[in-house]
Structure 1
Amino acid sequence: MQGGFPIDLILFGMVAAFLVLRLRGVLGKRTGFERPPVDQRAAPPAGPRAAESEAPRVAPAAGGPRLVLPDASSPMIQTLTRMQSIDPGFEPNGFMAGAEGAFRMIVEAFAAGDRVTLRSLLSDDTYAGFEGAITQREQANETQRTEIRSIQEMGIEAADLRGTVADVAVRIVSDQVNVTTGGDGLPVAGADAVTEITDVWTFQRDLAVKDPTWRLIGTRSA
């Protein structure tokens, strides 16, 4: 063809623009547990600021663990709404999805002795406790195998806001296999059977800081 702009370049340009928009739509989403990028942290996504009387969205999760969220009239919902007023990107469903992912990562990293992953997701005091247990296990020449077969239920057990520092305690009911073996390969703790375990994990974040990472500050059995 002569004297005209090639039609194939126009088509390629349209396809490229469409793909860019699709990628921005997918990669722009966050749950609140992402690790901040190195040397360049993005600000929280813009969005409408919730009014004090407006409760955050609490629709049940689809295809995941059963979510147990506070009643709309409870003081806990008011606290969650205040958190959302500080960071419009915060909402309970997204937080719970992120908490589930963090739970899986932390449990698996602890079993594997992955200090790097744990360091990025735990507070200083909590990391010291986990690292000490890993060191003790290594010195005893023991190996831990942990498998999370399923997470049955997750619920927000407590929420606290001190200034802009938010604490959210999450009750997690999971089916796990936990076996610790010695250097001879024989089990020294746990059993090769599925056990239901209930934990309460407390996550903390300064909502006024651009770093979106919620760090684990405490664990207990329920």
Structure 2
Amino acid sequence: MNGIPIFDIILFAGVAIFLILRLGSVLGKRTGHENPPKAYKDMMDAAKKADEEVEAKENDEVVVPLPSLKERHDREFDEQQLEGPLQESYAKIQAADPTFSPAQFLDGARSAFEWILRAYVEGDRETLRNLLADDVYDNFDKSLSERESLGQRLEEMLVGIDSCEVIEAEMDRSVAKVTVKLKSKQVNVLYNNMDEIVSGDPNKVVDVTDIWTFARDTQSRDPNWSLIATHSPE
């Protein structure tokens, strides 16, 4: 045979087969699920972390907490009140208690009005004791005792509070006093021990105006206000 001897062909074939097997053992087979080299993986993890930090920073810069509608309303209401007819009185109260807010006070007065009416109807003396000054509590207690001795029952429903406004404010030494006028709609019925109506009409809603004075010692750690007087409009 002319050309390359048969022995050389066999030798070259053997070398080729050896190289193919050797490369296969070193490189392995690519399946598409191989783990990347550690250096490459570390680099990608670092880049991902950096991207997450940048995104978090951008989100922090974009998201700005906004005050609620009530907070904005309270702030605007306070600004109006502190520049109104009671400006001097409010300034004295705030000098003694910088946390005083007319808006928050009126919210508290509305809640106290509801609690006190409910406690009076239910004969809940414990609640009344916590919300009333001593002399006012004594008057409520006397009325409750009289009602109980006669076996009477009071049914009172507060339909709603139409308005609640501050009409007077003052500082008496360290005691802040604020008087509010409350206009509400109520259904009041008093029954005797035979369940007969003594006064009122269960089917009639009446307009009621109350003038209540609340007080708080600004030097006390107790933030609560007490009802110190009740009046009827003249």
TM-score range normalised by the length of the shorter chain: 0.5 to 0.7
Question: Quick one: distance in 2 between partners of 1:121 and 1:137?
Answer: 21
1:79 deviates by: 1.1
Report whether the alignment pairs 1:103 with 2:113. Answer: yes
TM-score by length of 2: 0.64
Specify the code of the residue in structure 2 equivalent to 1:59: F
8 Å CA contact 2:166, 2:178 repeated in 1: yes
What's the counterpart of residue 59 of structure 1? 77
What's the counterpart of residue 204 of structure 1? 215
Specify the code of the residue in structure 1 equivalent to 2:225: W
Specify the code of the residue in structure 2 equivalent to 1:144: L
Structure number with higher relative contact order (C-alpha < 8 Å, ≥ 6 residues apart)? 1
CA RMSD of aligned residues (A): 1.7
1:57 deviates by: 4.7
TM-score by length of 1: 0.68
Structure having the higher Rg: 2
1:220 deviates by: 1.2
Q: 2:157 aligns with which of 147, 159, 162?
A: 147
How many percent identity over aligned positions? 35
Question: Quick one: distance in 2 between partners of 1:125 and 1:178?
Answer: 24
8 Å CA contact 2:159, 2:185 repeated in 1: yes
In terms of fraction of residues, the more strand-rich structure is: 1
The count of corresponding residues between Structure 1 and Structure 2 is: 158
Question: Quick one: distance in 1 between partners of 2:191 and 2:159?
Answer: 20
Report whether the alignment pairs 1:179 with 2:197. Answer: no
Q: Which runs of 5+ in 1 are unaligned?
A: 1-55, 61-68
Residues 58 and 216 of structure 1, relative CA distance in 2, 3 Å threshold: farther
Q: Which runs of 5+ in 2 are unaligned?
A: 1-73
8 Å CA contact 1:175, 1:197 repeated in 2: yes
Report the 3-state secondary structure (helix = DSSP H, G, I; strand = E; otherwise coil) of the residue aligned with 1:213: coil
1:73 deviates by: 4.3
Specify the code of the residue in structure 2 equivalent to 1:78: E
